[in-house]
Amino acid sequence: MTPSTTASDHTMTASDLPGRLFAALAREIRTRWPEYLHSRFTIAEIYQNLIPWRSHRNTMDIATSAEYEQALLRLLAGEGDYLALESQAAREEIQAELEARFPNTGLYRDFAAVGVRLNPSRLPEPDDGPGHREAAAASLPDRDGPGMADPEPDAAAGIAAPAAAGAQAQAGDGAAVGRVCSGCDQELPDIEGVRFCPFCGQDTRIIACPGCGMRVEAEWFYCVGCGRSARRA
């Protein structure tokens, strides 16, 4: 294979990343979470429960976590018109980040609580080929297993739930002791002074606004995105 052919193939593969990720997302939702075909879910659910890279990299044909993050960021930015975000501010910040010379492809974690919906007009035809459902069912742990709770039926509660988890990760001056990271849902080390998650790099002092999903730092009184009070009981 000539160098020029290799470069062309690589460009074609990179341009198709958001489409492959969306196809896997639609397939997973049809198979295991059909209620999400016509209702909201959060950005966090995409990378934590629905199509996490580690368990879906083969079906998505995405070789590295870096490619996965880039594909997800492009998907959330509106490429291909596959998803609708409930926060225009979040979409604009993601779009601006993608235009940077060295974009932070993990930025989507800052908007973990933002609601998203599938674009029905972009849904691929159902894939009901032999063994498809069995393969899909085997790609993730059982839905009733640890960390796979049913989605909240109320939209407001769906936004507030991840934010509350982030709030619980705060401890006094920002140290998180024996808590769960609001960015990747991993358990944080039970040591004093933990400020950053060792798994995803999330600042443990940052949580998500329960109203719009914008990042809110622990010492702030109000959200800079929607003006809602950031203080919780």
**pLDDT score for 168:** 41
**Structure tokens, 56:** 């879906």
Q: What's the pTM value of the predicted model, to 2 decimals? A: 0.54
**pLDDT score for 188:** 81
Is the pLDDT at 4 greater than 90? The verdict is no
pLDDT level of residue 182 (50, 70, 90 thresholds): low
**Strand-pair partners of 203:** 196
Nearest-angstrom CA–CA distance, 77 and 94? 6
Cβ contact 42:159 at 8 Å: yes
**Structure tokens, 187:** 């358990």
Nearest to 199 by CA among 106, 111, 113, 115: 106
Q: Where are the domains of the chain?
A: 6-138, 154-233
Give the H or E element holding residue 158.
helix 155-168
Average pLDDT score over the chain: 73
Question: Between these two residues, 84 and 152, which has the higher pLDDT value?
Answer: 84
Query: How do residues 101-115 score in pLDDT, each as one tens digit?
Result: 999 999 999 999 999
Q: What is the mean pLDDT of residues 27-38?
A: 94
**pLDDT score for 108:** 93
**Structure tokens, 74:** 């492009």
CA dist 123 → 22, 67, 84 (Å): 8, 22, 13
CA dist 161 → 5, 210, 213 (Å): 48, 8, 11
CA dist 157 → 43, 78, 113 (Å): 15, 25, 10
Nearest-angstrom CA–CA distance, 223 and 139? 38
Q: By mean pLDDT, which of 15-24, 70-79, 123-132, 193-202 is the weakest?
A: 123-132
**Structure tokens, 36:** 């999400």
